[in-house]
Amino acid sequence: MDLDSLYQEIILDHYRTPHHAGLREPFEAEVHHVNPTCGDEVTLRVHLDGVTVVDVSYAAEGCSISQASASVMTDLVIGKPLPEALEAHAAFLELMQGKGQVEPDEDVLEDGIAFAGVAKFPARVKCALLSWMAFKDAALQAQGVSS
């Protein structure tokens, strides 16, 4: 397996300097997700204003892939209308479950396309999805609170 296809420079950059890290207020929903096989954890909060994702804040412990994925995810969804953020979620999920056969759309996933190589490492797919799943869970809960 080609390591450099997994550890893209963009991923390592996000790992070293994660964006939007830390837990902030206000928020309408907070979730805690774990990857039970490896112990990676994320606590994640979502703040919505109407349908707009105003803030996503998080405290995560885990490997480079899971940390970088959280950072990229927040870049993609903060400031977006929730339906658009959930579309990005769906596109990322499709990419991760595509076994390396899915061609990512940079317009939708931006830095997230760097994770295309992760899809070829089945053991690491869950790492990349951890914060995305937490975001969807929290966003839907937050939407329920505000509506």
Residues within the interface to another protein (CB under 8 A): 1, 3, 6-7, 12, 37-41, 61-65, 67, 121, 124, 127
Task: Between 99 and 106, name the residue whose CB sits nearer to another protein.
Answer: 99
- Helices vs strands, H then E, count in the chain: 6, 3
Q: Are 53 and 80 in contact (CB under 8 A)?
A: yes
Closer residue to another protein, CB minimum distance, 46 or 129: 129
Residue 142 Cβ vs another protein, minimum distance, rounded to whole Å: 27
Nearest distance, CB of residue 38 and another protein, angstroms: 4
Nearest approach, Cβ of residue 53 and another protein (Å): 28
- Smaller CB separation from another protein, 79 or 122: 122
Taking the complex as a whole, how short is the minimal distance between the CB of residue 7 and another protein, in angstroms?
7
* Comparison of 65 and 78: residue with beta carbon closer to another protein: 65
Residues 77 and 86: their CA atoms lie apart, in Å, by: 8
> Cα–Cα distance between 127 and 136 in angstroms, integer?
15
What are residue 29's DSSP bridge partners? 46
- CA–CA separation, 51 vs 146, rounded Å? 9
Could you tell me if 112 and 76 are in contact, meaning their C-beta atoms sit under 8 angstroms apart? Answer: yes
Q: Which two tokens stand for residue 96?
A: 């991760």
Instruction: Go through the chain and tell me how many residues it has.
Output: 147
Closest to another protein by CB, 29 vs 117, is 117
Nearest distance, CB of residue 111 and another protein, angstroms: 19
